[in-house]
Amino acid sequence: MTTLATGTAAQARAAGQPSPDEPVVIVEGLHKSYGALHVLKGVSLTVRRGEVVVLIGPSGSGKSTFLRCLNRLIDPEQGRIVVAGYEMTSPKTNLPRARRHIGLVSQHFNLYPHMTAAQNVMEGPVTVLRTPREEARRRAVELLGRVGLADKVDIHPRQLSGGQQQRVAIARALAMDPAVMLFDEPTSALDPELTGEVLDVMKSLADAGMTMLIVSHEMHFAFRVANRVVMFDEGVIIEEGPPAEMFSRAREERTRRFLSQLLSWEAEEGELVAHDSEGAAGAGGGGGEGGG
Ligand SMILES: Nc1ncnc2c1ncn2[C@@H]1O[C@H](COP(=O)(O)OP(=O)(O)O)[C@@H](O)[C@H]1O
Ligand SMILES: [Mg+2]
């Protein structure tokens, strides 16, 4: 459970971010209904700076709703949300301003088709932050390099694979210098052979100290990258813990059942996650690496 924000003080954005242990996301008692459907039933979660939290749980358990409440794309009826120091649930908060600090990457890349990769990445800084075009372009090129797309800067999305488009989408979110990155099943729309390149970029962000909330069922990734795995079921968090602990000895039967489905699935794909009983899971982590 080590979070190494190694040598990346530069990365750790200067903008008003306080001490390392400071919560970046605070959620207390969140409720959301759609008509009669009570989707979030009192969810509380705190994410500290530099933490990587992976949200798992059955389809329909409220994970996407939860993420979308964080930047108030969805309005919860009850509860408190603070992100990067902004009271997201206060009527006084300037939401557009607050949202600049929250990067969101969903399964649909939603790139502008008529713009090149660099133009897509520059768009937010230029239109929202009023960054001069030249500077925004320089930064876009740098970010595209960081996600492994240095040679695709002036290419349009239709000429890019799904994995490459998703990496442009990540660069676009990073261009706003967010305090936290939210990922909602970022690889679920990708062909299996393209998920690795996106997960690798996400891992490099984690290694650089980015605070991240990730809905994903890529358990091998969660095992290597997450500080915590949080299990949603029917609109509540039923348990959470470090991945090695959750995978080897989850407390809740529902979590064990859910994980065993996922883990056997990954095993079938040759991505077996260390799953020994006596806590051996914590040691290796090499279970599926290299792919021998
Ligand atoms: N805009 C909406 N209107 C009505 N029901 C919705 C809406 N969005 C989600 N739901 C319902 O809320 C529940 C939780 O959905 P969601 O948050 O997407 O779950 P998850 O991401 O965990 O699969 C589901 O039953 C879903 O059908
Ligand atoms: Mg979802």
| Domains of the chain and any CATH numbers | 22-101+182-276 (3.40.50.300), 110-177 (no CATH)
Residue-level pLDDT at 185: 97
Mutate which of 32, 38, 39 for ligand 1 pocket (most atoms within 8 A of beta carbon): 39
Write out pLDDT tens, residues 150-179.
999 999 999 999 999 999 999 999 999 999
Written as six digits, the tokens of 265 are 């699935």
Give the confidence band of 256 by pLDDT, cuts at 50, 70, 90. Answer: very high
Q: How far is the CA of 58 from the centre of ligand 1 (A)?
A: 11
Atom of ligand 1 nearest to the CA of 58: 22
Mean pLDDT of all residues in 42-65: 98
The amino acid occupying position 171 is A
For ligand 1, atom 20, name the residue with the nearest CA: 60
Residue-level pLDDT at 151: 97
Burial (CB count <10 Å: 0-12, 13-18, 19+), residue 115: middle
Q: How far is the CA of 142 from the centre of ligand 2 (A)?
A: 31
pLDDT score of 292 more than 70? no
This prediction has a pTM of 0.86
- Chain-centre distance for alpha carbon 278: 30
Mutate which of 30, 31, 33, 37 for ligand 1 pocket (most atoms within 8 A of beta carbon): 37
Q: How many CA atoms lie within 13 A of 155 on its CB side?
A: 14
How many whole angstroms separate alpha carbon 168 and alpha carbon 234? 33
Give the confidence band of 24 by pLDDT, cuts at 50, 70, 90. Answer: very high
Number of helices (H), then strands (E), in the chain: 9, 10
Bridge partners (DSSP) of residue 38 are 33
Ligand 1 first shell, C-beta below 6 A: 34, 37, 39, 57, 59-65
Mean pLDDT of all residues in 5-29: 62
Write out pLDDT tens, residues 86-121.
999 999 999 999 999 999 999 998 999 999 999 999
Written as six digits, the tokens of 239 are 């348990």
Q: How far is the CA of 182 from the centre of ligand 2 (A)?
A: 12
Write out pLDDT tens, residues 212-241.
999 999 999 999 999 999 999 999 999 999
Largest CA distance in the chain: 56
Mutate which of 59, 63, 65, 238 for ligand 1 pocket (most atoms within 8 A of beta carbon): 65
Angle at 271 between CA 265 and CA 273, to 5 degrees: 85
Give the confidence band of 182 by pLDDT, cuts at 50, 70, 90. Answer: very high
Residue-level pLDDT at 21: 77
Give the confidence band of 270 by pLDDT, cuts at 50, 70, 90. Answer: low
| Ligand lying closest to the C-alpha of residue 69 | 1
Residue-level pLDDT at 22: 87
The pLDDT mean for the chain works out to 87
Residue-level pLDDT at 33: 98
Mean pLDDT of all residues in 137-146: 98
Give the whole-number percent of the chain exceeding pLDDT 70. Answer: 84
Spatial CB neighbours of 214, under 8 Å, sequence gap ≥ 6: 52, 53, 54, 55, 182, 183, 186, 202, 222, 226
pLDDT score of 54 more than 50? yes
Give the confidence band of 264 by pLDDT, cuts at 50, 70, 90. Answer: confident
Atom of ligand 1 nearest to the CA of 215: 21
Give the confidence band of 42 by pLDDT, cuts at 50, 70, 90. Answer: very high
